[in-house]
Amino acid sequence: MLLGLDLGTTRVKALLVGEDGQVGGRSSAAVRMIPVGEDGVEQDIEEIWAATLSAIGQLAAQGDLSQVRAVGVSSQGGALQICDAGGRPVGNIISWLDARGRPYDAAITRELGREWFARRAGHGGGCVSVGQLLRLREESPALVRAPNRIGFVGDVIVARLCGRAAHDGTSLSIATLYNPWLRSADPELLDRLGIEEAQLPALLEPTTPAGPLTREAAEATSLREGIPVSPAVHDQYASALGIGAVHRGDLMLGTGTAWVLLAATQRLVEPVIDDAFVCTHIVEGLYGHMLSLRNGGSAFAWVADLLGVDWRDSEQVDRLLSSVPAGSDGVGSWPFLAPGTGHGLRPNTGGRLMGLRLSHGRAHLLRAVVEGLTLELARYLGFLTGAALPANRIVMSGGAAGSRVTPQIVADVTGLPVATATEPDTSALGAAVIARGLAEGAADLAALCEAMRAPVQGLEPGPDSGCYARLLEDYVASLPLAGS
């Protein structure tokens, strides 16, 4: 058996998985978000550790944990945890949702320029940890100075399991500190931040063990002492591994609170837009190009709540969506409800519902928002294909992947075949695939993925594709472009 852990932003999930990919047990435990003032969001690493132990402990009633051969760890990205020289946490985690570093990100991006960051961090500006570290250096300079360590949620939990703080390039990339051309932290950027590379967690390949499970961790979890523990990998890449989006031209679409697009390519290129994150993939020989649409499930939940529709009731939602034809009888939407706007648009562009008539009902509004999100997805796909990056198929995970209607809309709007994952906990499953690589000393994660990935259901673009092609053209033409 293999254990896959997913250290999410609001929940820690655990899967007990066989070598054939069959899930033998699953569990989860919630963790809190702690508001700090108007812009701050923090978490407590002790709560996340307790949730990790709880999630593992719940599995003991579902399977024999003494048979687990290895532990794989996936984690939320960019959640900053300062530790002292002994690895003890100093203060709370600064969440990736925390906005207090954004003015510092904007200032250093203005100073150094988009091209400087794109060549050194695979991203078009300071982001996530960069601004937070600059803020901390100004407010509490001793906090970020050696011998203190600059850690993140994933590697801190890995250290508690095996005694060594370790993560991979995907984790360091989302913190905007990783140079994918050098395959290491960027020395010039670290120098600008006043950080020594030795302060960062060990940077390892995903199939290189961070270390053996310690006696203390074994006693706390009922796992066997000495089994290998993986470095922490970013949860989106682990999810791609869990659903098999690991071949050139595969596009993983994570349909969570924000829709996230992760393209697998064999070419390392600068980010196609400033908001993209470019990194070495966890599958050797591939690179990842990750784009967040910022909006997604949050936009759909918003309109559903307003209309009195339980968005968790997939049967009701699908009935409503399927009761309206493609194009929502003339209702259109701009799905920009989350803070910020889509790439290339005027600042502060907000959401819209257009073309409303008395004859329209709540099903029209629901479908219009789904179509708006999918049209925006197609616009983002255009950034990738415009840079000659391949787009062969979309593999969906997350809430919308379980719909009978939304994946077909995605296929029709994008013109690409779509596969939907039947396993809900794809990041934890991807972590279990990595665990198998550790247990067997195998470096070919793509091959292990084929043996263990979640079953998928395939869809092809259908007869509504022509209608959506016209709607996409109208949608893009309607948007207020920056500078126009």
H or E, element range at 426: helix 426-440
Q: Is residue 327 part of a domain?
A: no
The answer to whether residue 322 is domain-embedded is no
In this structure, is residue 308 part of a structural domain? no
Rounded CA separation 324/416 (Å): 22
What angle, rounded to 10 degrees, do the helices at 406-414 and 362-386 form? 40
**What distance in Å separates the CA atoms of residue 261 and residue 418, rounded to the nearest whole number?**
13
Residue 28 falls within a domain, yes or no? Answer: yes
Residue 459 phi, psi dihedral angles, 5° rounding: -135, 145
From the list 181, 199, 45, 180, the residue with the least C-alpha distance to 136 is 199
Q: What is the pLDDT of residue 339?
A: 77
Residue 484 is predicted with a pLDDT of 67
What is the structure's pLDDT at 338? Answer: 84
**Structural domain count of the chain:** 1
Give domain status of residue 390, yes or no. no
Q: Which residues of the chain have pLDDT under 50?
A: none
* pLDDT score for 341: 77
Report whether 182 contacts 111 (CB < 8 A). no
For residue 8, give the CATH number of its domain. 3.30.420.40
Asked if residue 228 belongs to a domain, the reply is yes
Which long-range contacts does 383-389 make (Cβ < 8 Å, 24+ apart)?
Answer: 383/272, 383/273, 383/276, 383/291, 383/343, 384/251, 384/261, 384/263, 384/272, 384/289, 384/291, 386/272, 387/269, 387/272, 389/263, 389/265, 389/267, 389/269, 389/272, 389/289
Domain that holds residue 228: 2-237
Nearest alpha carbon to residue 367 among 396, 326, 408: 326
Query: Whose CA is closest to 234, among 164, 152, 295?
Result: 152
Q: What is the pLDDT of residues 395-423, one digit of tens each?
A: 999 889 999 999 999 999 999 999 998 88
Residue 163 forms part of a structural domain: yes
| CA 394 – CA 264 distance, rounded (Å) | 11
